[in-house]
Amino acid sequence: MTRSILCLLAFVLTSFCSFAQPTDNPYRTMYPGAPADHWTENLRWSQVLDITTVPGPNWLAKLITAQDQLVAQGGGVIYFPAGDYYIQNNFNLKPNIILRGVPSVDNVAKSRGFSPQSRLSFPEYVPTFSGTGTPDTTAFKVITASNSFNNALVDFDVNRGRISLSQGTNTNTINGMVLSVRSNNVAVPSPDVPTATQNAWQRFSYRFGYNIVVRNYANAIIANCRVNDFTDNTTNPVTNDSFEQPGYLADSLGTPIVIPNRYTTFSYTDHYGIGLNRGSGAFYGTPQTAPELFRTGGEILDNWVLKTMRVGIMTAGLGLKVKRNTIADLDGKEVYLNPQGTAKQRNLSATYENRGIDFSGWSVQVDSNDIEVYRHRFYRSNYLSVDGEGILVQECCGGSMVNDYHIGGNSLHGDGPYIGIYKMRDIQNLVIEDNNLNNVTNIYVESNVNGCTATNTGSCYAMRNVVVRNNYNIFAGCGTNPGTGILLQAGVGSSDIFCYGNVAEPTPNAICSRTRDSILITGPCSISLNPDPNQATVNTNTRLYMANCSTPFVPGPAVFPSVSVQTPTDTTIINASAGSVAYTIQTLLNYDVNHNVEVEYWKDAQLLGALSSTSSPSLDNFLWNVSPTEQGTRIISAKITDLSATPRPVYSWSQPIKVKVLAPLSLSASSWSSLVRLYPNPVMQGQAVMLTVPLGQNKPTIQVFNLRGQLLPADYDVQNDKVTVQTNHLAPGVYTIRVSAGANSVHKKLVVQ
């Protein structure tokens, strides 16, 4: 019998079951094939403080004390042995703090037996249906990490508490992870309810809430979490706290009416499930216009999410991975109220944003996910909400240009949750392959060609290097001719579009009377049958049903500009161990030499520089000064713009290239902190403190905090690699000094006598 099972047997007899305090990197333990230098190796897993040994009148007080103790030592793990912990209020993680519990015996989040043995419970919201109602402050608590870094929550069963590691987007707010966490009964009260004409006690679940969300500058992981399983759990079923509100008032054409009870539920699932770096409202963002959508190091892996409204996974990133997640939904949903909860829904074309995965950014992999989506039916009608996408990319609401996407091996279920690259203007470097549409849905890939005509070329956009292949069980619709199983719709400048090996539904569906054996492909005259580029003949299972143009053919520039990065190549290693290195980014350009052309060179979401044909003799070689502080995986891309093209400039982005920068040990994240020296320590009040800091190319900044985490004035001077900090204004006591230089930072304990 394993130790974990013995502990579970003893759990009913004791409040807590002590395990040996873990010091391993749990991400490495779960994903042993991760790179050896994965950023999670730099978190302080080895310094552990057992919360049960910390003094305090309750668990929140113990947690605050434990955090302050670890911050004074540079951070570490607050360990929660197996047991139940009641946390009565919000809690904010400080830098370098990790909360860690005991894993579930069945530690696969997709399993119904998943329930970590360390359980955090927050206050329940108990509604009252009179007066102003129960105050919101009695519940709806949250674990945050405001303007912090190096934070993680690992192995917890959390009830009634949101996890919102919204760490900010300055260059120091890096490294946030939520791993192996179960989350239930999470909601945010909507600011829209009550209105002036509603009962003051009314509450409504805010549609923009999240169970788990992480937003930071770089490196964010949400993996192996289980969201909203309630009684769908064999180890620790919990009650769904959702409640109906009798007598709920809402507007109907200017008159308040009483809404039937079953449509007034305050729901703990009618909001987003998991979010990662998607808080932007950008419209068709690029690294230049919306860098917050292009943060690196994002991973959403192996999660199970139930949602009944909005989106299961809402995310963005550069080099983002969204893999092996399960999105669950409920069939038979019916609505009476609008999404705000303020009025009867009268517009039968409204959206409740029922979607599986909604993503943006560049170099994104959305692979091997199992997605179920159902739409809402409007009260006493046959109309369904206008949403229902299984996998969606759109230009609005934090959307970005499509560049280097792989959508493969996903399975979609429900009432038509299609794969939609929806009206995205220019689309580049896209592969959609091996997806199972389960005879319920189809695939749309369309650049925004609404209104594209010879006299309205401002609405004409292109697709380049797009491959749709080997998808199966495609539902092609009903009618005299086969419906749209695959829609490829592109405008002027399109090239290299391939569609082959796809299989439409071979037998009649229950709602159809005939067999479909073909796939509809629409496009401008410049698109014909799209054969497998590796085969001499067109696949027999694909026929072109639109012989005429679906959009007008509009002549484009003689040469549409294109760019590809030739050097470096993917997986190139640049060794900056001896200091900064001059490295040439070489591109292959295609453009009209008689036109005014500009080429921009990008690293991650930062512009390195630009070359112009009016001022530079060579546009295809850019000198990149690689600093050791850029240690890690960097993503290089280039953009070429033909400024002379009419009626508007035309441009093209290269496919991003991943480059690994090796830094000297003195500047690596794992050892940089050990080279920061502080002396004397302890120090007499009024005596100056000296620090040695490995600068690289970054001037350090100094911050001083007391044990309550309050930021104090810092009087310091920098001379070369020596920093002098004055202590005249510091009373005797214990302080924390934060030293930051570029992406590196460290906390040092300082004792003033």
CATH label of the domain that carries residue 745: 2.60.40.10
**Strand 657-662 relative to strand 632-642: parallel, antiparallel, unpaired?**
antiparallel
User: In terms of domains, do 427 and 552 share one?
Assistant: yes
- Work out the percent of the chain whose per-residue pLDDT is above 70: 83
When pLDDT is averaged across residues 426-441 and rounded to a whole number, the result is 91
- Report the distance separating Cα 676 and Cα 700, nearest Å: 11
Q: Is residue 706 part of a domain?
A: yes
When pLDDT is averaged across residues 108-129 and rounded to a whole number, the result is 98
Place 509 in a pLDDT band, splitting at 50, 70 and 90: very low
**What phi, psi does 265 have (nearest 5°)?**
-65, 130
Q: Which residues pair with 335 in a beta bridge?
A: 378
User: In terms of domains, do 454 and 580 share one?
Assistant: no
Map tokens 């679906």 to a residue: 550
CB 683 within 8 A of CB 751: yes
Write down the mean pLDDT value for the chain: 84
- DSSP-derived secondary structure for 457-510: GGG---EEEEEEES-BSB----SSS---SEEEE--TT-EEEEEES--B--S--T
User: In terms of domains, do 506 and 590 share one?
Assistant: no
SS3 209: coil
Please name the residues in contact with 405: beta carbons below 8 A apart, sequence gap of 6 or more: 363, 364, 365, 366, 393, 421, 429, 430, 431
Lowest-pLDDT choice from 75-84, 290-299, 304-313, 456-465: 456-465
Residue 704 tokens read as 């001083």
Residue 552 has a pLDDT of: 45
Tell which residue, 674, 569, 683, 581, has the closest CA to residue 625: 581
- Report the distance separating Cα 510 and Cα 189, nearest Å: 42
User: In terms of domains, do 535 and 585 share one?
Assistant: no
Encode pLDDT of 356-365 as tens digits.
Answer: 999 999 999 9
Residue 557 tokens read as 């520039």
Q: Is residue 361 part of a domain?
A: no
Lowest-pLDDT choice from 133-142, 151-160, 659-668: 659-668
**Strand 495-500 relative to strand 621-626: parallel, antiparallel, unpaired?**
unpaired
Residue 751 has a pLDDT of: 81
Residue 484 has a pLDDT of: 66
Residue 205 has a pLDDT of: 97
* 716 pLDDT more than 60: yes
**What phi, psi does 139 have (nearest 5°)?**
-150, -155
When pLDDT is averaged across residues 598-614 and rounded to a whole number, the result is 91
Residue 440 has a pLDDT of: 87
569 burial type by CB count under 10 A (0-12 exposed, 13-18 middle, 19+ buried): exposed
Residue 586 has a pLDDT of: 96
* 546 pLDDT more than 60: no
**What phi, psi does 244 have (nearest 5°)?**
-80, 160
- Report the distance separating Cα 246 and Cα 266, nearest Å: 11
Measured on CA atoms in the order 401, 742, 703, 54, is the torsion positive or negative?
positive
CB 183 within 8 A of CB 145: no
CB 290 within 8 A of CB 400: yes
- Of 628, 647, 666, the one marking the end of a domain is 666
When pLDDT is averaged across residues 97-123 and rounded to a whole number, the result is 97
* 427 pLDDT more than 60: yes
Lowest-pLDDT choice from 192-206, 603-617, 688-702: 688-702
DSSP secondary structure code for residue 293 in this structure: G
Place 500 in a pLDDT band, splitting at 50, 70 and 90: confident
Residues present in the chain in total: 753
Residue 228 tokens read as 């909203």
CB 43 within 8 A of CB 98: yes
SS3 449: coil
Q: What is the dihedral of CA 394, 395, 396, 398, to 10 degrees?
A: 90
Map tokens 């449509």 to a residue: 263
Q: Which domain holds residue 453?
A: 418-556
User: In terms of domains, do 679 and 534 share one?
Assistant: no
User: In terms of domains, do 174 and 239 share one?
Assistant: yes
CB-based burial, 487-522: b 16+ in 10 Å, e otherwise? bbbbbbbbeebbbbbbbbbeeebeebeeebebbbbb
Q: Is residue 216 part of a domain?
A: yes
Q: What kind and span of H or E run contains 29?
A: helix 26-30
SS3 178: strand
DSSP secondary structure code for residue 19 in this structure: P
Map tokens 């934060």 to a residue: 738
- Report the distance separating Cα 264 and Cα 281, nearest Å: 29
- For 254: left if phi > 0, alpha if psi spans -120 to 50, otherwise beta; the answer is left
CB 413 within 8 A of CB 440: yes
Q: Which residue has the higher pLDDT, 339 or 470?
A: 339
When pLDDT is averaged across residues 317-323 and rounded to a whole number, the result is 96
Please name the residues in contact with 385: beta carbons below 8 A apart, sequence gap of 6 or more: 335, 350, 351, 352, 354, 375, 376, 377, 378
Residue 474 tokens read as 């495609």
Lowest-pLDDT choice from 89-98, 467-476, 573-582: 467-476
- Work out the percent of the chain whose per-residue pLDDT is above 90: 54
When pLDDT is averaged across residues 273-300 and rounded to a whole number, the result is 91
Q: Is residue 214 part of a domain?
A: yes
* 547 pLDDT more than 60: no
Range among 332-341, 498-507, 623-632 rated most confident = 332-341
CB 250 within 8 A of CB 290: no
* 312 pLDDT more than 50: yes
User: In terms of domains, do 427 and 524 share one?
Assistant: yes
CB 27 within 8 A of CB 40: yes
CA distances from 224 to 96, 110, 116, 216, 437 (A): 22, 8, 11, 20, 25
Count of domains for the chain: 4
- Report the distance separating Cα 172 and Cα 542, nearest Å: 52
Residue 540 has a pLDDT of: 35
DSSP secondary structure code for residue 147 in this structure: T
Range among 636-645, 676-685, 732-741 rated most confident = 636-645
Residue 266 tokens read as 């305050």
DSSP secondary structure code for residue 672 in this structure: G
CA distances from 597 to 193, 449, 519 (A): 53, 25, 40
Q: Is residue 367 part of a domain?
A: no
Q: Is residue 120 part of a domain?
A: yes
- Report the distance separating Cα 383 and Cα 42, nearest Å: 53
- Report the distance separating Cα 377 and Cα 386, nearest Å: 10
CB 596 within 8 A of CB 643: yes
Encode pLDDT of 434-488 as tens digits.
Answer: 999 998 888 888 877 666 666 666 677 778 888 888 888 887 665 444 456 777 7
DSSP secondary structure code for residue 349 in this structure: T
Residue 721 has a pLDDT of: 62
Measured on CA atoms in the order 688, 692, 698, 702, is the torsion positive or negative?
negative
User: In terms of domains, do 541 and 568 share one?
Assistant: no
- Report the distance separating Cα 116 and Cα 101, nearest Å: 7
CB 631 within 8 A of CB 297: no
- DSSP-derived secondary structure for 188-223: -B-TT-S-TTS-TT---B-TT-EEEEEE-SEEEEEE
* 8 pLDDT more than 80: no
User: In terms of domains, do 722 and 578 share one?
Assistant: no
Q: Is residue 613 part of a domain?
A: yes
- Report the distance separating Cα 444 and Cα 159, nearest Å: 39
- Report the distance separating Cα 418 and Cα 444, nearest Å: 8
* 371 pLDDT more than 80: yes
User: In terms of domains, do 117 and 255 share one?
Assistant: yes
CB 481 within 8 A of CB 511: no
CB 302 within 8 A of CB 223: yes
CB 355 within 8 A of CB 311: yes
CB-based burial, 539-549: b 16+ in 10 Å, e otherwise? beebebeeeee
Please name the residues in contact with 551: beta carbons below 8 A apart, sequence gap of 6 or more: 449, 452, 460, 489, 491, 523, 524
Residue 715 has a pLDDT of: 83
User: In terms of domains, do 617 and 638 share one?
Assistant: yes
Residue 249 tokens read as 């008032």
Residue type, 41: E
User: In terms of domains, do 653 and 689 share one?
Assistant: no
Q: Is residue 293 part of a domain?
A: no
Q: pTM for the whole thing?
A: 0.82
- Of 264, 285, 313, the one marking the end of a domain is 264
